[in-house]
Structure 1
Amino acid sequence: MTNFPAAAPADARIGALADVAVLMPAFNGQADVERTLASFEEDAPVYALIVDDGSTPPIVTPSVPGMRIEMLRMAQNGGIERALEAGVQALAARGFRYAARIDSGDLAAPQRLAKQRARMEAEPRLAALGTWTQVVNRAGAPLFMLRPAADARTLRRTRMLRSPLVHPSVMLRIDAVLAVGNYRVQYPAAEDLDLFLRLMERYDCANLPELGLYYELNEGGISATKRRRQITSTLRLQARYLNVLNWRDWAGIGKSLLHFVTPYGALQRMKRALFARGT
């Protein structure tokens, strides 16, 4: 495993990305990994850590111009929760301050990293900063836009009603993630919501109100293949963090129960109809 030197002091690299790392877990899908990493368009070199979660055959480290890529291989497939936990620990050991999440198959909008880093540098209370997201199908055709609220206060009020951040669009402050216990395995397939809720107890989370990610809706992804597990974990989190005086929390529980009994295909058609109208 390659060791990179610690990042230079912040005032020596204003505008650069020396303290930012792209964090991408991957299980199989070599072509998707390569396509995702090649999508980054930044004015500074980009470092990426791929966490190969027991792929067979192992993912080969791609060569992408303007990008330094390191591979962290898990001994066996243990799930995205363990892969992300190991990835954050590895980035902290290498001296990075920010981890920019993305999943294989998704594409980054130009200058996403620079914009997110600039905002987080300007607002030290931010522990997580997402972006608006264009959802596309496997062919790249647009389906609908995800436009979560931009400000921390609104996200706290609506965190149970609607996912506060689109996980693969998020840039995380690594020290804050470690301070709240890193990614965990207690809530399978809802590791992102678990982390966001813990971060919101001590820090702010927000979204850039502009396109930062093209999210590929994959019928074989976690949301499809582990849907019941994901909804069960979400309901457990909603019960744990329930504010009985906030009607949005109760509405969020109702929404999760509806998802539990609604077929996946029907749910996706409902989302397309709702988000197409900008709701």
Structure 2
Amino acid sequence: MTNASATAQSALDDVAVLMPAYNGQADVDLTLASFSESALVHVLIVDDGSTPPIVAPALANMKIDVLRMAQNGGIERALQTGIDALAQRGFRYAARIDAGDRSVPQRLAKQRAFMQAHPNVAGLGMWTQVVTRAGEPLFMLTPPAEPNTIRRMRFFRSCFAHPSMMLRIDAVRAVGNYRAEYRCAEDLDLFVRLMERYDCANLPELGLYYELNEGGISATKRRRQITSTMRLQLRYFNAANPYDWLGLAKNLLHLVMPYRALQRVKRVLLAPRASH
């Protein structure tokens, strides 16, 4: 093997894809098959009590382990367990994705290169194309890239697409890991705590195709998610930041607006405009 080949092969040895899964074997297979990298991709599937159990698909250029939970305990516990397992196995970065979503080619290499060059960045997301179950594009999520902008706007808009994130494992554990204190908003809870000590940023390019799933947490547990988000907003509220006030108002509106109506508004506001 040449030096260049050896370097490419080892380029992602400290990165592992972290995917929690509860049933949905076909979605797991689809998601993992979407990864296209120049190096071996390590994957940890945390099977959150699936019936039948999740089976690792046989995919070239991919080393997949399955960590089985004895019973279904929710995504918060699955992610916490997954982070601890990756730390014990010596990985430095966890690349999140959910079953049903699809990765853009070279996503992992791009995120790792950025985080290596910016050691104070503990979480790095990417722009995300939201699609239907059939893969049809709905709208793009293009959150801000700069850490300071994200800090100001963290409660006003969704600054990160959770399944697009690459996380520095030691930083996640240093701030207390994922936790179940804010059910259905475990990602925002983690990001807020990370941003107290480190930077979080976005790469301003497409990295993920996110499946809008009517059976997902954002749809089926929406009220709990909004309530948890508002509890976080109040805990970390900064009265001098106008975006914190706007974020509270926005979530109050979300409480009274039906989920499907909200999705229709998003499609209108965020759909690509035809050029003239």
- TM bucket, shorter chain: over 0.9
2:217 aligned with 1:222: yes
- In 2, the alpha carbon distance for the partners of 1:144 and 1:163 equals 14
- In 2, the alpha carbon distance for the partners of 1:260 and 1:58 equals 36
- In 2, the alpha carbon distance for the partners of 1:125 and 1:161 equals 24
Q: Secondary structure at the match of 1:155?
A: helix
Residue of structure 1 aligned with 2:14, choices 19, 41, 66? 19
Residue of structure 1 aligned with 2:104, choices 95, 109, 116? 109
**What's 1:256 paired with?**
251
Residue of structure 2 aligned with 1:269, choices 251, 259, 264? 264
The answer to whether the 8 A contact 2:139-2:272 is kept is: no
Q: TM-score, normalised by structure 2?
A: 0.95
- In 2, the alpha carbon distance for the partners of 1:80 and 1:216 equals 17
Q: Deviations over 1:44-68 (max 9, x none)?
A: 0000000000011111121111100
- In 1, the alpha carbon distance for the partners of 2:92 and 2:54 equals 26
- In 2, the alpha carbon distance for the partners of 1:270 and 1:78 equals 33
TM-superposed deviation, 1:122:
0.1
Residue of structure 2 aligned with 1:85, choices 80, 83, 86? 80
**What's 1:121 paired with?**
116
**What's 1:160 paired with?**
155
Higher deviation after alignment, 15-24 or 132-141: 15-24
TM-superposed deviation, 1:248:
0.5
- In 1, the alpha carbon distance for the partners of 2:223 and 2:243 equals 22
TM-superposed deviation, 1:274:
1.2
Q: Secondary structure at the match of 1:116?
A: helix
**What's 1:238 paired with?**
233
RMSD across aligned positions (CA): 1.1
Q: Given residue 71 of structure 1, which amino acid in structure 2 is its aligned partner? A: V
Residue of structure 1 aligned with 2:194, choices 199, 224, 227? 199
Q: Secondary structure at the match of 2:42?
A: strand
TM-superposed deviation, 1:13:
4.8
Q: Secondary structure at the match of 2:176?
A: coil
Q: Given residue 264 of structure 1, which amino acid in structure 2 is its aligned partner? A: Y
- In 1, the alpha carbon distance for the partners of 2:250 and 2:73 equals 29
Tell me how many residue pairs correspond in the alignment.
267
* % identical aligned pairs: 72
Poorly superposed stretches of 4+, deviation over 3 Å: 12-15
- In 2, the alpha carbon distance for the partners of 1:179 and 1:51 equals 21
- In 1, the alpha carbon distance for the partners of 2:272 and 2:40 equals 38
The answer to whether the 8 A contact 2:95-2:167 is kept is: yes
Q: Secondary structure at the match of 2:196?
A: helix
Q: Given residue 145 of structure 2, which amino acid in structure 1 is its aligned partner? A: A
Residue correspondence of structure 1 range 156-195 to structure 2 within 5 A? 156-195=151-190
The answer to whether the 8 A contact 2:48-2:68 is kept is: yes
- In 2, the alpha carbon distance for the partners of 1:253 and 1:41 equals 40
The answer to whether the 8 A contact 2:237-2:244 is kept is: yes
- In 2, the alpha carbon distance for the partners of 1:91 and 1:170 equals 16
Q: TM-score, normalised by structure 1?
A: 0.94
TM-superposed deviation, 1:25:
0.2
Q: Secondary structure at the match of 1:186?
A: coil
TM-superposed deviation, 1:116:
0.1
TM-superposed deviation, 1:277:
5.6
The answer to whether the 8 A contact 2:156-2:250 is kept is: yes
Q: Which runs of 5+ in 1 are unaligned?
A: 1-11
